[in-house]
C-alpha cells in the first residue's frame, strides 16, 4: 500500500472517524436534549392548561349559584312566585334576564310540590323541564332536606342560602344544574322550611360556553366528547359528577411551545453543526425565559388574588387568612386586635374633586398607616374607603388605644391632592380576642358594630366593642323594621301641629308640622331617635311625602294660617323635590305662599348645586324658605349674606340661656338686627316663660313658638284653638 494511502487510512482511523463519530454522537446527544427539552416544555404547558380548565369548571358551580342568589334571596321574588298573574315578572327577573345577563341556558321555578310554575330554555321546547327533571329532582330533594333540617353548612358572607348543584348531562349535553330556594332577604316573609319555591338554573358546557372558554384562555379547537366517544387527545379534562361518574371530556389541541421551537431549530442545527452548542444554549435560554415569564405571570395573578390593585395592600381574602393565623397561633397571655377603619367625608372628595383625587387620598392614607403599624401587623383594604388592621401578639388594651389615637391624629393632617388641601377624618371600631370572641366571624362582626357606634357618636374617634353596643344595634334594627311597618300601616304615624304666634298681636298666624310616632308596644318614640334612622335607611323621602301631604290638607282647612314643614337634606338633594312640592300644593288647592319649608344650613350646602336649584324653583313658585336651628353647627351671621331664605328660626338653646352669664340675649339681639337689616323674618323657638316672650317682643323678634303658647297638638285641637280665639275676638 502506498504511503499516501497509509496516511489517509491512519487519518481516517485516528482523526476523521473519531471526529465524525464524536460529532455524530454530539449531534445525537444535542438532538436528544433538544427533543427532551421540547417535550418537557410541552408537558408543562399541557398540565397548566388542564389545571386552568379544571379551576374554571370547578368555579362554575359556585358562580351559577351566586348568580341565582342575586334574584332568589329577595322578598319581591317570594311574593311573585306565590302570586297568580306574575308570569311576566318571573320571566323578566328569574328567567330570560338570567339568560341575558349571566348567560344561563335554562331557568325553572318549582312550587312546594316540585311542579314547574315557570319554564325557560334556550332550546324553546314545549315543556323544557322534562329534559332537566331527571337530574334536577335529586338536587331538589337534597335541597329540601337541607332546608327542613335547617342545615346552614357552607352559608357565608358570599353564600346567602343553601343550595344543591351537580355536573351532569341534560339531553345528552354536559351541563351544570343548580337548585336554590327562593327566600326572603329581610326575613319578614314567613316560609315553612322545605316548602320554599325552588329556582333551577342550567348552564350547558358546550356551545357558547366552550367558545368563551377557548377564546378567553386560548384553548385551540376546544370541544366536548362523551364518554363513549372519547379519543386519545393530547389534552383532555374528564368532567365528573358528584357521584364520581364521568360525564365526558373537554378535549383540545394544546399549545406546544417546545415542539414549535424544535421545528424551527432542527433544520438550522442539521445544516450548521458547528453552531449546535450555541443554538442549544440559545434554546435553553429561550425556554428558561419563557418558563420564567410564566412563573412571573402566575406569581402576579396570585398576588392580585390576595392584594388590592390600587394600594397593593392585602385584600379581604388575605386579611381573613392573616386573622385566622393570628388567632390560631395566639399565645395564651396575649391578645389579638382587629381594627375596622372608615374614612369620614370621603364621598365629598370624590364628588367635588373626582375619583382620581379620591384614589390619591386612599393611597396617601395607606402610606400614613403603614408608617404607624409594626411589621407583624396586617393592614388591608376591604374596598372603597374601608380598611382593617390585624394586630397579633397584642400586650395590652392601652397599646391598641394609643395606635387608634395616632391613626386619628395623622389623618387630621390635610392631604395635598393636585394643589388642593383635602381635610377628612377616620373612624375606628375595635374588637379584641379573646374578650370579644375567638373566631374571625365574631371579631369582624363586633369590630364593625364598634365602628358603627363610633360613627353614630360623632365620627373621627375610636370605639372599643362593648356588649351594650350589640344591644343598641339590635334596638336600632328593631326601630328600622317597625318604622317600615308603620309607614305601610298608616295608623301609627301622625302629624301634630305646634302653633306659631305673632309677637306683636299674640295671635296665631301659623303652625309647624311635626311628625309623631305612637309605637304599639313602646309608646311615643322621639323623632330624634327615628328620623336619623330613616335618613340612613332611605325611608326619609317616604316620611317627608307623608308629612307634606298631611300638611297641605291641613292648610286647606285653615285658610288664615301658614304651615311650616321640616325638610331633610336628603329630600332637598332629589332633583324632583320642587316638582313634588308643587304637585302636593296643586292637589290640595293651597296657595304656595302659605307653605314654609324649614331647612338646616347643612341642607343648603350642596356642592352639586341640586339643593340650590330646588330652593330657587320653590321660591319662584312662592314657597317661603326658613333657616332652622340658626346659631348651631356652622351657622354664622356673616353666612346670612349668602343664603337665600325668607325667615330665620333662632335655636331654642339660645332662648333657654336667657338670664344666664353666657350672654345669649346679646347673641339673639344680633341675630334679630342682622335679619331685620336683610329684610328677613325671625322666629324664636322654645319660648317657655312670659319673661322670655316679653324680652323677645321688646327686641323686635317677629314670631314666637314654644310651650308657653302651645305644645304640638293634633289637627283637630288646632281647629278648636282657632275657634276659641275667634270667639274671644268677637266678644271683645
- Residue 235 located in a structural domain: no
The pLDDT of residue 131 is 80
The pLDDT of residue 689 is 92
CB atoms within 10 A of CB 383: 10
The mean-pLDDT minimum among 14-23, 214-223, 325-334 falls in: 14-23
CATH number of the CATH domain containing 684: 3.20.20.450
Domain count, the chain: 3
CATH number of the CATH domain containing 437: 3.30.70.270
Nearest residue to 503 via CA among 233, 302, 695: 695
Structural domain including 342 reads: 316-465
Q: Check whether residue 431 and residue 507 sit in a common domain.
A: no
Q: What is the pLDDT of residues 123-153, one digit of tens each?
A: 766 678 888 888 888 999 998 998 898 888 8
* For residue 711, pLDDT beyond 80: yes
pLDDT band at 229 (very low <50, low <70, confident <90, very high): low
Distance of CA 597 to the CA centre of its chain: 33
Q: Check whether residue 374 and residue 457 sit in a common domain.
A: yes
- Residue 30 located in a structural domain: no
CB atoms within 10 A of CB 730: 7
Q: Check whether residue 140 and residue 193 sit in a common domain.
A: yes
- Residue 540 located in a structural domain: yes
- Residue 350 located in a structural domain: yes
The pLDDT of residue 657 is 76
Q: Check whether residue 482 and residue 416 sit in a common domain.
A: no
Q: Check whether residue 580 and residue 438 sit in a common domain.
A: no
Which of 169, 204, 239 is the last residue before a domain boundary? 204
Q: Check whether residue 404 and residue 481 sit in a common domain.
A: no
Distance CA 391, CA 160 (A): 29
Question: What 8-state DSSP symbol labels residue 489?
Answer: H
* For residue 548, pLDDT beyond 90: yes
Q: What is the pLDDT of residues 357-381, one digit of tens each?
A: 889 999 999 999 999 999 999 999 9
Which of 410, 433, 465 is the last residue before a domain boundary? 465
- Residue 267 located in a structural domain: no
Distance of CA 18 to the CA centre of its chain: 77
CATH number of the CATH domain containing 190: 3.30.450.30
End-to-end CA distance of the chain: 163
Question: Phi and psi for 174 in degrees, rounded to 5?
Answer: -70, 140
**Residues whose CB falls within 8 Å of the CB of residue 368, separated by 6 or more in sequence, listed in order:** 410, 411
- Residue 22 located in a structural domain: no
C-alpha cell, 435: 374578650
The pLDDT of residue 589 is 94
Q: What is the pLDDT of residues 574-622, one digit of tens each?
A: 999 999 999 999 999 999 999 999 988 766 666 677 888 899 999 999 9
Q: Check whether residue 701 and residue 557 sit in a common domain.
A: yes
* For residue 521, pLDDT beyond 80: yes
* For residue 724, pLDDT beyond 50: yes
C-alpha cell, 560: 288664615
Question: What 8-state DSSP symbol labels residue 244?
Answer: S
Prediction pTM value:
0.47
Q: Check whether residue 96 and residue 116 sit in a common domain.
A: yes
Lateral strand order in the sheet of 235-240: 220-226, 246-253, 235-240
Question: Phi and psi for 93 in degrees, rounded to 5?
Answer: -95, -35
Q: Check whether residue 343 and residue 444 sit in a common domain.
A: yes
The pLDDT of residue 597 is 94
Q: What percent of the chain has pLDDT over 70?
A: 86
- Residue 219 located in a structural domain: no
Q: Check whether residue 512 and residue 461 sit in a common domain.
A: no
- Residue 290 located in a structural domain: no
pLDDT band at 176 (very low <50, low <70, confident <90, very high): very high
> 726 vs 387, which has greater pLDDT?
387
CB 578 within 8 A of CB 621: yes
pLDDT band at 634 (very low <50, low <70, confident <90, very high): very low
Which of 409, 436, 465 is the last residue before a domain boundary? 465
The pLDDT of residue 635 is 44
- Look up cell 314666637; give the residue: 704
CB atoms within 10 A of CB 624: 19
Q: What is the pLDDT of residues 280-325, one digit of tens each?
A: 677 656 766 676 777 777 777 777 788 999 999 999 999 999 999 9
Q: Check whether residue 448 and residue 490 sit in a common domain.
A: no
The mean-pLDDT minimum among 70-84, 457-471, 477-491, 627-641 falls in: 627-641
- Look up cell 374601608; give the residue: 386
* For residue 328, pLDDT beyond 60: yes
Q: Check whether residue 556 and residue 648 sit in a common domain.
A: yes
Across 41-55, 217-231, 440-454, 645-659, which has the greatest mean pLDDT?
A: 440-454
Amino acid at each position: 500500500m502506498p504511503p499516501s494511502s497509509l496516511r489517509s487510512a491512519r487519518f481516517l482511523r485516528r482523526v476523521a472517524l473519531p471526529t465524525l463519530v464524536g460529532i455524530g454522537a454530539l449531534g445525537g446527544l444535542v438532538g436528544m436534549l433538544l427533543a427532551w427539552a421540547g417535550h418537557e416544555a410541552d408537558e408543562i404547558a399541557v398540565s397548566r392548561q388542564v389545571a386552568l380548565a379544571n379551576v374554571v369548571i370547578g368555579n362554575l358551580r359556585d358562580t351559577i349559584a351566586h348568580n341565582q342568589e342575586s334574584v332568589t334571596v329577595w322578598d319581591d321574588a317570594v311574593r311573585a312566585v306565590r302570586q297568580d298573574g306574575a308570569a311576566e315578572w318571573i320571566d323578566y327577573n328569574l328567567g330570560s334576564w338570567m339568560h341575558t345577563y349571566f348567560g344561563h341556558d335554562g331557568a325553572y321555578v318549582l312550587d312546594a310540590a316540585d311542579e314547574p310554575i315557570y319554564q325557560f330554555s334556550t332550546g324553546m321546547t314545549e315543556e323544557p323541564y322534562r329534559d332537566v327533571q331527571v337530574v334536577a329532582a335529586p338536587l331538589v330533594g337534597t335541597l329540601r332536606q337541607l332546608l327542613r333540617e335547617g342545615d346552614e353548612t357552607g352559608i357565608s358572607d358570599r353564600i346567602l342560602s343553601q343550595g344543591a348543584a351537580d355536573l351532569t348531562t341534560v339531553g345528552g349535553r354536559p351541563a351544570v344544574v343548580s337548585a336554590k330556594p327562593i327566600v326572603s332577604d329581610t326575613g319578614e316573609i314567613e316560609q315553612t322550611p322545605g316548602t320554599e319555591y325552588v329556582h333551577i338554573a342550567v348552564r350547558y358546557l358546550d356551545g357558547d360556553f366552550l367558545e368563551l372558554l377557548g377564546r378567553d384562555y386560548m384553548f385551540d379547537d376546544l370541544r366536548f366528547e362523551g364518554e363513549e366517544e372519547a379519543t386519545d387527545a393530547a389534552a383532555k379534562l374528564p368532567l365528573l359528577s358528584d357521584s364520581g361518574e364521568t360525564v365526558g371530556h373537554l378535549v383540545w389541541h394544546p399549545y406546544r411551545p417546545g415542539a414549535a421551537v424544535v421545528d424551527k431549530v432542527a433544520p438550522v442545527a442539521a445544516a450548521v453543526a458547528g453552531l449546535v452548542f450555541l443554538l442549544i444554549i440559545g434554546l435553553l435560554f429561550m425556554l428558561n425565559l419563557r418558563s420564567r415569564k410564566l412563573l412571573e405571570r402566575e406569581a402576579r395573578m396570585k398576588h392580585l388574588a390576595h392584594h388590592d390593585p390600587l394600594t397593593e395592600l392585602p385584600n379581604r381574602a388575605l386579611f381573613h387568612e392573616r386573622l385566622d393565623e393570628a388567632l390560631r397561633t395566639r399565645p395564651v397571655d396575649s391578645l389579638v386586635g382587629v381594627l375596622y377603619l372608615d374614612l369620614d367625608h370621603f364621598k365629598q372628595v370624590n364628588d367635588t374633586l373626582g375619583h382620581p383625587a379620591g384614589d390619591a387620598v386612599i393611597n396617601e392614607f395607606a402610606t400614613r398607616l403603614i408608617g404607624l403599624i409594626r411589621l407583624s401587623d396586617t393592614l388591608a383594604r376591604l374596598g372603597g374607603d374601608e380598611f382593617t388592621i390585624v394586630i397579633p401578639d397584642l400586650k395590652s388594651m392601652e397599646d391598641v388605644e394609643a395606635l387608634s389615637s395616632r391613626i386619628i391624629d395623622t389623618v387630621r393632617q390635610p392631604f395635598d391632592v393636585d394643589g388642593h388641601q383635602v381635610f377628612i377624618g377616620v373612624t375606628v371600631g375595635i374588637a379584641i380576642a379573646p374578650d370579644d370572641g375567638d373566631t374571625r366571624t365574631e371579631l369582624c362582626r363586633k369590630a364593625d358594630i364598634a365602628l358603627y357606634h363610633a360613627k353614630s357618636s360623632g365620627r373621627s374617634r375610636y370605639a372599643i366593642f362593648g356588649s351594650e353596643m350589640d344591644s343598641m344595634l339590635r334596638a336600632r334594627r328593631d326601630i328600622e323594621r317597625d318604622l317600615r311597618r308603620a309607614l305601610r300601616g298608616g295608623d301609627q304615624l301622625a302629624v301634630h301641629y305646634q302653633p306659631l304666634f305673632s309677637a306683636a298681636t299674640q295671635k296665631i298666624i301659623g303652625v309647624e308640622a311635626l311628625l309623631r310616632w305612637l309605637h304599639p308596644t313602646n309608646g311615643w318614640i322621639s323623632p330624634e331617635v327615628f328620623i336619623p334612622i330613616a335618613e340612613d335607611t332611605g325611608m326619609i323621602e317616604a316620611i317627608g311625602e307623608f308629612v307634606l301631604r298631611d300638611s297641605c290638607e291641613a292648610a286647606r282647612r285653615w285658610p288664615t294660617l301658614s304651615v311650616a314643614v321640616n325638610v331633610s337634606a336628603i329630600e332637598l338633594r332629589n332633583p324632583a323635590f320642587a316638582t313634588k312640592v308643587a304637585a302636593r300644593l296643586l292637589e290640595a288647592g293651597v296657595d304656595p305662599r302659605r307653605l314654609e319649608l324649614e331647612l338646616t344650613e347643612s341642607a343648603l350646602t350642596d356642592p352639586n348645586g341640586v339643593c340650590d336649584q330646588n330652593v330657587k324653583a320653590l321660591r319662584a313658585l312662592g314657597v317661603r324658605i326658613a333657616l332652622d336651628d340658626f346659631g348651631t353647627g356652622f351657622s354664622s351671621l356673616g353666612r346670612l349674606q349668602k343664603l337665600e331664605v325668607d325667615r330665620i328660626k333662632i335655636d331654642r338653646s339660645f332662648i333657654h340661656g336667657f338670664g344666664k352669664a353666657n350672654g345669649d340675649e346679646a347673641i339673639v339681639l344680633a341675630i334679630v338686627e342682622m335679619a331685620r337689616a336683610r329684610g328677613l323674618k325671625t322666629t324664636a323657638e322654645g319660648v317657655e316663660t312670659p319673661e322670655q316672650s316679653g324680652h323677645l317682643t321688646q327686641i323686635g323678634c317677629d314670631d314666637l313658638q314654644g310651650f308657653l303658647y302651645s305644645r304640638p297638638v293634633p289637627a283637630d285641637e288646632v281647629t278648636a284653638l282657632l275657634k276659641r280665639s275667634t270667639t274671644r275676638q268677637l266678644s271683645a
